[in-house]
Homo-oligomer: A and B are copies of this chain.
């Protein structure tokens, strides 16, 4: 990816919202479907979906269908970007968020949680 000013502004805009920054940090830890994010963040489904779209349109994440679920993950193409690498090294999920993520995965929320 090239660091054009427009692309960078889109990335900054995408990451300058707390919800989206949290989602991005969660996805740096693990792939997640929308219902897992709903469960972890405790937010409305459409709010999560809209924010995921903004992250996707900034090129930060990708998605892929897996049966009923749509799995979101960090865009592998952007991981070679120096700015993104540095963000990854410098920014960390909060302890509480990390605990929520672990709980979600351990309890197999994807299969059990009813998301709407």
Does the CB pair B86–A82 fall under 8 Å? yes
Q: How far is the CB of A87 from chain B (nearest CB, A)?
A: 6
Whole-angstrom distance between the Cβ of A16 and the nearest chain B Cβ: 4
Number of interface residues of A (CB under 8 A): 21
> Residue A9 contacts which of B3, B17, B83 (CB distance < 8 angstroms)?
B17
Write out the residue numbers on chain B whose beta carbons fall within 8 Å of the beta carbon of A16.
9, 12-13, 16
* A interface secondary structure, majority: helix
In the complex, A71 has a CB within 8 A of chain B: no
A86–B9 Cα distance when bound, in Å, is 15
CB proximity to B under 8 Å, residues A1-60? 3, 5, 8-9, 12-13, 15-18, 21
Residue of A3, A81, A86 with highest tally of chain B CB at under 10 A: A86
Chain A interface residues (CB < 8 Å from chain B): 3, 5, 8-9, 12-13, 15-18, 21, 81-83, 85-87, 89-91, 94
Across the A-B interface, give the 9 residue pairs with the lowest CB-CB distance, nearest first. Answer: A12-B16, A13-B16, A86-B86, A12-B12, A12-B15, A3-B90, A16-B16, A82-B86, A83-B86
